[in-house]
Chains A and B, each alone.
Chain A
Amino acid sequence: MFDFLEGYDVLGAFWMTVKLTALSAVGSLIWGTLLAAMRVSPVPLMRGFGTTYVNIVRNIPLTVIIVFTSLGLADIFGVTMGAADNFDVQGFRLAVLGFIAYTAAFVCEAIRSGINTVPLGQAEAARAIGLNFAQTLRLIVLPQAFRSVIGPLANVLIALTKNTTVAAAIGVAEAATLMKTMIENEAQTLAIGAVFAFGFLVLTLPTGLLLGWLAKRLAVKR
């Protein structure tokens, strides 16, 4: 029944999807948190930068960003991510860079909304005992903010998992690339579609359930 899978590395393709997702998730969490910190910081210039970044990146299609990393950054600007001689590695790293740049804007907004859920008294108390901005943010506000935005961040992560298919546009050998090849070569269009749909269900549904459970467990009781 699953003859059509022969000769195709479906698991390998999904492993690539997972790697893309994991690296991009870590990167965008870091960059997104930094952006969020900038957006609430006392320095007007940083606030301006954070706002501008988020508003620009969020309004550009991810496809444009990903294609640009390959045709623009790599080919014209010469940003080869330390892999000038190996286009497979280069494409992978460029895609991760693109996903981080894009997803961070959404992470930033989620975290910023989480910061807003922390009661005023918390920040006021922190200031009262003499903590400065960085300390207030790092020790008091962000830990509580993170716990309240696990839900939204889980949605960002799920969206990111699905978004990694866009890397197919620059030829990264992940799930969508393989599916395109397979449905062009094999007759069982429906079966192939089902296999890949199943693969993504396996990736996204548990993520949603697990993080949903985590969000409930870690929610700040008020």
Chain B
Amino acid sequence: MSSVLYDTPGPRAKRRNIILSIVFTVLLALLLWWVWQKMDDKNQLEWSLWEPFTTSEAWTTYLLPGLGDTLKAAAISMLIALPLGAVFGIARMSDHAWVRGVAGTVVEFFRAIPVLLLMLFANEFYVRYSDVSSEQRPLYAVVTGLVLYNASVLAEIVRAGILSLPRGQTEAAYAVGLRKGQTMTSVLLPQAVTAMLPAIVSQLVVIVKDTALGGVMLGFTELLNSRSTLAANYANVIPSFIVVGIIYIILNFLLTSFASWLEQRLRRSKKSTGAVLGEDTVEVNPAAVGGTFGTGGEGGGPSGFTFNDKPPR
């Protein structure tokens, strides 16, 4: 689509593009040179600072346990948030006004509160009103915050997914005599899940990223926190940041790649399952679902765009 914005470059445009490329390269090179120079100035390039990362001990003692805690918190949050989100999403479409009302209020409330506040609050709540051990408490607080927030976001994804199905699906289901519950479980949900899955997987990226909040503010021993224990040993603040940043990028890159692979697979298989997800119902597509509802806490913005370039209509 973007190629529509400009003509196929002719000789002059080509020359101009080359000049622009060179200017841009020079600017970029200058920036990189400045970074390199600064790091050299401050002795951040010394091999002794980077060497620890080539030893297995730095990984087995600090980084891997931290990564483990990050993944543990993310996985537990996802496992609790998914069913909870589905329940709230479906409850928001109930025919009973009070169920809709309660579910709607809960979902809107927790979507409007920063996940960090939820964590801080949960942490203090556990200190005062529960007997969770002080070792386990940060994990509990992080998971609680993530579950409350992400279940609400997932509820909206589920609801949007189901609402986006053509009305004919419901009507046809009623016509063949299915009850409401049956319609939901055997007609609507299977089709909606197909459309929602990529958005749900991309929400996992948000969860993984959000665990880092617990490390700084609650002392949860996740990856970012284990970085500081590591830096206390090797005195390498900058290198450790760079390494930890790369770990996060790889981790989330794997997740987003999985999401887009999943999306493509589902797209292809749609014909065979007979789901009616034509051009008119683009809202079903995860970009729209994510774009409209996946404010994605830390993920900020429309997480759905992570893997989809289709516009929200």
Which residues of chain B from 274 to 313 have any CB-CB distance to chain A below 8 Å in the complex? 287, 291-302, 305-306, 309-313
Residues on the B chain within 8 Å of A2, using CB: none
Q: Report yes or no: B117 in contact with A155, Cβ–Cβ below 8 A.
A: no
Q: Is the CB of B253 within 8 A of A59?
A: yes
Interface status of A83 (Cβ within 8 A of chain B): no
Knowing A43-B24, A117-B313, say if A193 contacts B121 (CB, 8 Å). Answer: yes
When distances are taken between beta carbons in the complex, the residues of chain A under 8 Å from B2 are 39-40, 115
Separation of A112 and B44 alpha carbons in the complex (Å): 37
CA distance A133 to B1 in the complex (A): 13
User: Counting CB contacts under 8 A, is A44 at the interface?
Assistant: yes
Given A63-B215, A132-B6, answer yes or no on A152-B302 (Cβ-Cβ < 8 Å): yes
Partner of A67, one of B108, B109, B224: B224
In the complex, what's the smallest C-beta–C-beta distance from A205 to chain B, in angstroms?
6
Residue in B42, B117, B208 whose CB lies within 8 Å of A76? B42
Residue of B nearest to A120 (CB): B4
Name the residue on B nearest A202 (C-beta).
Answer: B112
B163 contacts chain A at the CB level, 8 A cutoff:
no
Q: Chain A residues with Cβ under 8 A from B13's Cβ?
A: 42
- Does the CB pair A61–B24 fall under 8 Å? no
Q: When the two chains form their complex, are residues A116 and B309 in contact, meaning their CB atoms are under 8 A apart? A: yes
Q: Chain B interface: which of A3-11, A88-96, A161-169?
A: A161-169
- Count A interface residues, CB 8 Å: 77
In whole Å, how far is B208's beta carbon from the nearest beta carbon of chain A? 8
Chain A 144-162 residues near chain B, CB threshold 8 A: 148-149, 151-152, 155-156, 158-160, 162
B48 adjacent to chain A (CB < 8 Å): no
Do residues B249 and A189 form an inter-chain contact, with CB atoms below 8 A? no
Which B residue sits closest to A203, measured CB to CB? Answer: B112
| Majority-rule SS of B interface residues | helix
A31 at the interface (CB under 8 A from B): no
Chain A residues whose CB sits within 8 angstroms of the CB of B256 once the complex forms: 59
Residue of A nearest to B291 (CB): A152
A196 touches B241 (CB 8 A): no
In this assembly, does A176 line the interface, its C-beta being within 8 Å of a C-beta of chain B? yes
Contact status of A179 and B245, CB under 8 A, knowing A72-B238, A76-B237, A107-B301? no
Whole-angstrom distance from the CB of B107 to the nearest CB of chain A?
A: 13
Q: Which residue of A lies closest to B218 (CB)?
A: A180
A64 and B209 CA atoms in complex are apart in Å by 9
A123 near B5 with CB under 8 A, answer yes
Bound CA span A197–B114, Å? 8
Mask, B11-43, CB within 8 Å of A = 1, is: 001000100110011001000000100110010
Q: Which of A68, A106, A116 contacts B302 (CB 8 A)?
A: A106
Residue of B nearest to A55 (CB): B253
Contact A116 to B121, CB < 8 A, known contacts A155-B291, A162-B114: no
Residues of chain B within 8 A (CB-CB) of A184 are: 124
A32 to B284, CA, bound (A): 26
Within the assembled complex, what's the spacing in Å between the Cα atoms of A67 and B215? 11
The one of B117, B309, B312 that contacts A179, using a Cβ cutoff of 8 Å: B117
> Shortest beta-carbon distance, B83 to chain A, in Å?
24
Q: How far is the CA of A185 from the CA of B216 in the complex (A)?
A: 20
Task: Report yes or no: B20 in contact with A43, Cβ–Cβ below 8 A.
Answer: yes
Instruction: Report which residue of B113, B114, B241, B309 has the largest number of chain A beta carbons within 10 angstroms of its beta carbon.
Output: B114
Whether the pair B17, A166 counts as a contact (CB closer than 8 A) is no
Asked whether any CB of chain A lies closer than 8 Å to the CB of B98, the reply is no
Q: Residue of B at shortest CB range from A75?
A: B237
- By the criterion CB–CB under 8 Å, are B216 and A156 in contact? no
- Interchain CA distance A103-B295 in the complex, whole Å: 12
Q: Which residues of B contact A63 (CB under 8 A)?
A: 209, 212-213, 215-216, 224, 298
Whether A113 and B310, one on each chain, are in contact in the complex, defined by CB atoms closer than 8 angstroms, is yes
Can you give 17 A-B contacts (C-beta < 8 A)? A40-B2, A45-B25, A56-B249, A60-B248, A61-B211, A72-B237, A76-B38, A102-B300, A109-B305, A117-B312, A120-B4, A133-B5, A159-B295, A159-B301, A160-B300, A169-B217, A176-B120
Would you list the 5 A-B pairs with minimal beta carbon distance, nearest first? Answer: A106-B301, A59-B252, A61-B212, A40-B2, A162-B114
Q: B-side interface residues toward A, CB under 8 Å? A: 1-2, 4-7, 9, 13, 17, 20-21, 24-25, 28, 35, 38-39, 42, 44, 108-109, 112-117, 120-121, 124-125, 128, 205, 208-213, 215-217, 224, 237-238, 241, 244-245, 248-249, 251-253, 256, 287, 291-302, 305-306, 309-313
Give me 6 other A-B pairs in contact (C-beta within 8 A), A152-B305, A155-B295 excluded: A45-B24, A115-B2, A136-B6, A141-B5, A155-B301, A156-B300
